[in-house]
Amino acid sequence: MPFYLQRILHQETIAAIDLGSNALRAIIVRRQGNKLHVIKNFREALRLGEDVFATGSISTKKMLHTEDAFIKLLHIFGAHNVSDVKAVATSAMRDSKNGPELAKKILHTTGIHIETIDGSEEALLIFEAVKKRINFDKKTAVIMDVGGGSTEIILVNNGVILGIKSFNIGTVRLLGYKNQEELEKKISTAVNEIMVFIKTKIPKKPDLFIGTGGNLRRIGKIRRKILRRDSAEIAMFNEIHHMEEAILSMSYVDRIRSLELDQNRADVILPAIMLTHHLMQKLKVDKINLPKVGLKEGIILSMVTP
């Protein structure tokens, strides 16, 4: 449908792009009046953080891969008559010396402008998406978004944000550990820092613990796969503990085969589950809510909210 007809019929098609440390994610949505209908989701494993967190820069190979992914997206957007696009980049681009160079290349090649946002902006966008799925009335809540390069913590009371903080702990950053003991130590240190922040605003056990991000959505799917539960939008503490033990006992290949994980997910799922398990233990919560929303949905909402 031509763009001018889309506008007349109030059926504009828009897209959001999340250029993360582990992968590029995009969503195409058709806006019909006040309603949003998801048309397509897109994911491309890029692992920008793999280079950045080791060397401080994105390699030429990954820059070309990223540019190719954006060109692929441009064709998809054209096929769906997308009229407006918003792209944001997070931890890896924030930390990379040549991130601006990559953004400039992509703008020149595709016309898509990438805005690199800080952790607080990222967390606010995530919160807007979560608000559409979770009722915060008269409740305290801890929202944890686990990314490849950073973990955002959002503290909420009765729907009002009490505090936001971004921690430089992410699943890609946690790779390269020598053994399980070293990984445990890194996660334990990070969780202790997170708890100091949480306790300044929510001294008692929160009413809600909410997890977002690709790896935590995958936890919900693993819950259904391994434990045969009906819902992928919650997980109990004992289930997370069981998943951690199961995945620790599996080889990388076994995770791909048994859990139906792609190669880009099979290694980072362990740090994500361990981080979740440790924080739930410290918070003394018995359940984590896993709404199927995240940064890209928050970006979409920012595009349609006056």
134 and 219 housed in the same domain: yes
The β-bridge relationship of strands 35-45 and 23-32 is: antiparallel
| Closest C-alpha to 82, from 164, 121, 26, 158 | 26
* Co-location of 128 and 102 in the same domain: no
Shared domain for 262 and 159, answered yes or no, is yes
Q: Report the CATH number that the domain containing residue 126 is assigned in CATH.
A: 3.30.420.150
The candidate with the shortest Cα–Cα distance to 269, out of 215, 214, 191, is 215
**Does residue 150 share a domain with residue 68?**
no
Residue 84 domain-assigned (yes or no): yes
Is residue 133 within 8 Å of 143, Cβ to Cβ? no
Per-residue pLDDT of the chain (306 residues; tens, 9 = 90+): 455 555 545 579 999 999 999 999 999 999 887 889 999 999 999 999 999 999 999 999 999 999 999 999 999 999 999 999 999 999 999 999 999 999 999 999 999 999 999 999 999 999 999 999 999 999 999 999 999 999 999 999 999 999 999 999 999 999 877 788 899 999 999 999 999 999 999 999 999 999 999 889 989 988 887 788 888 899 999 999 999 998 989 888 988 888 888 888 889 999 999 999 999 999 999 999 999 999 999 999 999 987
Provide CB contacts within 8 A for 202, sequence distance 6+.
140, 142, 155, 157, 162
Residue 304 lies in a domain: no
Where does a domain end: 97, 117, 137? 117
CA–CA dist 19, 98 (Å, integer): 15
Residues 20 and 111 in one domain: yes
Instruction: Decide the pairing of beta strands 84-89 and 13-19.
Output: parallel
Query: According to the model, what pLDDT value does residue 265 have?
Result: 87
Looking at the fold, whether 96 and 131 belong to one and the same domain comes out as no
Are residues 132 and 113 both part of a single domain?
Answer: no
Q: Could you give the angle at the alpha carbon of 305 between the alpha carbons of 301 and 306, nearest 5°?
A: 160
Are residue 196 and residue 282 in the same domain, yes or no?
yes
Q: What is the tally of structural domains in the chain?
A: 2
Predicted pLDDT at 178: 75
94: CATH: 3.30.420.40
Instruction: Show which of 52, 87, 117 is a domain's final residue.
Output: 117
Q: Are 70 and 149 found together in one domain?
A: no
Q: How far is CA 17 from the centre of its chain?
A: 12
Q: Do residues 171 and 272 lie in contact, with contact meaning Cβ atoms separated by under 8 Å?
A: yes
Residue 163 in domain: yes
Query: Are residues 28 and 76 in contact, defined by beta-carbon separation less than 8 angstroms?
Result: yes
Among 117, 140, 163, identify where a domain stops.
Answer: 117
Q: From CA 141, how far away is CA 120, in angstroms rounded?
A: 17
178 and 194, same domain (yes or no): yes
Residues 90, 64 share a domain: yes
Structural domain harbouring 11: 3-117
Residue 282 vs residues 10, 186, 201, 207: alpha-carbon distances, Å: 48, 15, 15, 14
> 17, 112 in Cβ contact below 8 A?
yes
Residues 191, 60 share a domain: no
Give the Cα separation of 175 and 170 in Å (integer): 9
